[in-house]
Structure 1
């Protein structure tokens, strides 16, 4: 190896040309860019939350050997889709080959646009990329249809006859690295739509599939249906984030200041009560009633996919330019509220959290959810201030009553003795009453 003291012939002109090529490359991300490989600093806390269990979608995980067996299932779903479309209208019969050609040509026209959604080089030919768009995209929309329309399922359907497959898909379809451009799915959905069957829009099929991924109470999809096309979802994971954010009023409460919320046990000791919020449209909308001292929390369902979906949503907010860290801010608030097993048990007892995990695992989940993220905006500062002000006012009121009690009743020692004596007599009368009742019953 040449050291600094060694003489090495350097072609300066070649070096300049290489540097010019590097700096001439457009460094700015395309506006559509929204599918990223997870940075190591985020993925190292739980690799399983970012890696597919059985299915690859898109180019990033396509060549993994462990995911190859499910490629046959995708092919089976594609065959079933084009065969069904070919027999919808016997009077206007279109062969399966023609149907497949139409789908492929439609995506070929937009594959360069689809490529702009991926932040990293995909490492494959245009031919292979187009094949993945068709095969994976058709599988996803056919899967969503079969979940909503039972009559489409065959008796030995490889997905719906094996419960583990659905569990794998609930995990694999929400991975940031495993996303497909939403507009590709829409194109395939529209081209394969049939009048007697498709009564629901694609957005509704996705929500039907994921059902209770966040809560036991279904959330309204109306805000998603009315989104401005320029702000529409970029992929399925982004759609799930929009489901939370579009229904929430937290975007109006952004602040650059930070103040930690007290833990659930500390809040309870300070007189705060916890209630589950049944009326909220979004999981993110935690509210405080200042008149009653009640913290209302929409119920969060903690299950097998909860860590996966939140870690990927947080990674999306961390990686995607100009994304507001609303879900990340929610994760910070939950971590503030839940420091110990006792904190989690308080929230579970109130109905604010339903957990399928044991208490230790649940507490650990909340404590490490947003580690190594950078969050400069806080969407819960107003909530924290309201809670802190309530506790401060309650303590001032209690101190004032204590001062009045000391001044008016305990300043005179004889009055002090009489108050204590009266209290002792009251306790003795109460005990006498209790024992009398016990003797009567006995």
Structure 2
């Protein structure tokens, strides 16, 4: 036995015997059971773009992720008693309006989208076993045509009916703004585009050009917010949007500079080594503290700037303006949740949330940025500060967009000379009276020195 162990030869009859012990059919039963549960494909294919908001993010503010008055797509279909009933009737009425105006039969409309029955379910990150093929096609047509007709009516006042509950009830557009930008309340963009093309009705822009689907969507959402600066139309979209929320994300981050302080990152074969040598991103102090250290804040006056094009140069923070109201929180929360789930979009909006949270700790910071015209705040200063402080909780940022900018800010902030100069300015040049007092003290000092010099001169050189 010892020789067998030394030579590495072990009689495995004992181990084989233990495997062959009567197991009462457990091995065969588990083989069949587990084998039946194995998957031949990924449960989350790359084509997924519409997700359930992850629980750690959802629990931060549940109402920011759930629809109030209208369900779009399958994820909230049939949920909630009477809250969706009115809009379900409006959907069917809008479909009839669209069919009448577009001069297309319902049969032709169904024929035009029936082939999407196989492609569309792959866009959703959870199984849609609860809805059959016929109901799914019906949902695509009714929900999609509702959106097309809604955006058309929003674009042209002449196409609105005097009995329309959407545009005759003043609160409806704001409710729809909230619901139509929820991550869980989306239809794939290619479905909307197909329906738009099938039901094409000539709408023209102010320049006389035919309005595209993005034009109609942009116009609707610009009318539903207190400050439409964040919705900057893109002359050329960098890629086809995945859905309406992704289109809004594109308007917010594009055109966004890809180089500069926000993106000082070398790319190469030694990328991993460089990332190990580079120190981790550091927080920057809040706006009030930076201001006390001599850093200035000013609003960007470039009308083409997206809100993410934040610059820092020669001690001056230049930040595009942002309006904050009750719709801003759900919008940014769903944009961040979308990026946390979707692999094909960079973490730009989340990076923006992180930087703004750095700059804003309290209502004092909100007041400072409002005074500079950077924030247009429709909330209380305390609620606005809380909005930024809680915006990206339970999320993560890969490739922080403002890493270089934060390093430059901290470098300037930690320079003692800048702090001394700002302290001097605040204490001695902060008001006209302080300046007058300083000038008077300086004149008095000069006169005193002249008198002293004259007395000394008289002592050593008395008049003859």
Q: 2:419, 2:378 → 1: CA distance?
A: 41
Structure-to-structure mapping, 1:197-276, within 5 angstroms: 199-211=210-222, 213=225, 215-217=227-229, 219-223=231-235, 225-227=236-238, 231-250=239-258, 253-254=262-263, 257-276=280-299
Does 2:98 align with 1:74? no
Which residue is 2:106 aligned to?
100
- C-alpha change, 1:52 and 1:428, in structure 2 (3 Å) is farther
Structure-to-structure mapping, 1:2-401, within 5 angstroms: 11-27=26-42, 29-64=44-79, 65=81, 66-86=83-103, 99-122=105-128, 123-195=130-202, 199-211=210-222, 213=225, 215-217=227-229, 219-223=231-235, 225-227=236-238, 231-250=239-258, 253-254=262-263, 257-279=280-302, 280-290=304-314, 293-393=315-415, 395=417, 398=420
Q: 1:170, 1:195 → 2: CA distance?
A: 24
Q: 2:193, 2:227 → 1: CA distance?
A: 26
- C-alpha change, 1:162 and 1:397, in structure 2 (3 Å) is closer
1:10 Cα deviation from its structure 2 partner: 5.3
CA contact (8 A) 1:250 1:285 kept: no
1:194 Cα deviation from its structure 2 partner: 2.7
1:106 Cα deviation from its structure 2 partner: 1.5
- C-alpha change, 1:269 and 1:196, in structure 2 (3 Å) is closer
4+ residue runs over 6 A deviation: 426-429
CA contact (8 A) 1:141 1:185 kept: yes
Q: 1:396, 1:350 → 2: CA distance?
A: 21
1:182-207: per-residue Cα shift (whole Å, max 9, x none)?
Answer: 00000000011134768210011111
Question: SS state of the match for residue 121, structure 1?
Answer: coil
Q: 2:186, 2:349 → 1: CA distance?
A: 19
Q: 2:24, 2:192 → 1: CA distance?
A: 54
CA contact (8 A) 2:309 2:319 kept: yes
- C-alpha change, 1:18 and 1:127, in structure 2 (3 Å) is same
Question: SS state of the match for residue 199, structure 1?
Answer: coil
- C-alpha change, 1:104 and 1:235, in structure 2 (3 Å) is same
CA contact (8 A) 1:214 1:300 kept: no
Q: 1:390, 1:235 → 2: CA distance?
A: 42
1:295-324: per-residue Cα shift (whole Å, max 9, x none)?
Answer: 111011101110001000000110112321
CA contact (8 A) 2:234 2:254 kept: no
Q: 1:214, 1:118 → 2: CA distance?
A: 32
Structure-to-structure mapping, 1:401-420, within 5 angstroms: none
Q: 2:384, 2:76 → 1: CA distance?
A: 30
Q: 2:63, 2:107 → 1: CA distance?
A: 37
Larger radius of gyration: 2
- C-alpha change, 1:322 and 1:217, in structure 2 (3 Å) is closer
Question: SS state of the match for residue 354, structure 1?
Answer: strand
Which residue is 2:455 aligned to?
none
1:427 Cα deviation from its structure 2 partner: 12
Q: 1:41, 1:397 → 2: CA distance?
A: 41
Question: SS state of the match for residue 110, structure 1?
Answer: helix
CA contact (8 A) 2:75 2:185 kept: yes
TM-score by length of 2: 0.78
Which residue is 1:425 aligned to?
444
Which residue is 1:432 aligned to?
none
Which residue is 2:461 aligned to?
none
Which residue is 1:438 aligned to?
none
1:251 Cα deviation from its structure 2 partner: 6.8
Q: 1:190, 1:372 → 2: CA distance?
A: 40
Number of aligned pairs? 388
- C-alpha change, 1:70 and 1:216, in structure 2 (3 Å) is closer
CA contact (8 A) 1:250 1:379 kept: no
Q: 1:116, 1:303 → 2: CA distance?
A: 35
Which ranges in structure 1 are unaligned for 5 or more consecutive residues?
1-6, 87-93, 403-418, 430-442
